[in-house]
Amino acid sequence: MLKYMDKLAKNQKPEELPSLVLAYIGDAVYELAIRQFLVGQGFTKVNRLHREAVKYVRAGAQAKALFALEDKLSEEEMAVVRRGRNAKSGTPPRSADIVEYRHATALEALLGYLYLQGKQDRVREIVDLAIRAITKTGNN
């Protein structure tokens, strides 16, 4: 996997990638982080892991997480969030409205951007803040 990351770093900068590409990467980063968090919480049955993961990865939860951490983002991060939120990303899932879906896409774009920038500590910090915000709002 690392050789592919090196190739991206040499050929294209994350800030030059379309927002939806950043969100595509960020979705995978976030999903993996949530899975690791849940396994770390002691969940071991796959069906239960899936049900718990959905509480964190659904668009409404991601939108709430983004709202909770917006005041903790830098200007650069907010610019990525705005780009992600404004990207024309297609039809939202049945369980989300378009506003939630756009905000979820913005969070994923931010995570993808930071991940591709190599800012793993910041990715962990934002995921941790998102988990706390989602847990606090009763989605857990």
Residues annotated as catalytic (active site), given as ranges = 27
Please state the φ and ψ torsions of residue 139, each to the nearest 5 degrees.
-85, 0
Say how far apart CA 119 and CA 111 lie, in whole Å: 9
Q: Show the tokens assigned to 76.
A: 């650069």
Q: Show the tokens assigned to 40.
A: 């770390």
Say how far apart CA 34 and CA 41 lie, in whole Å: 10
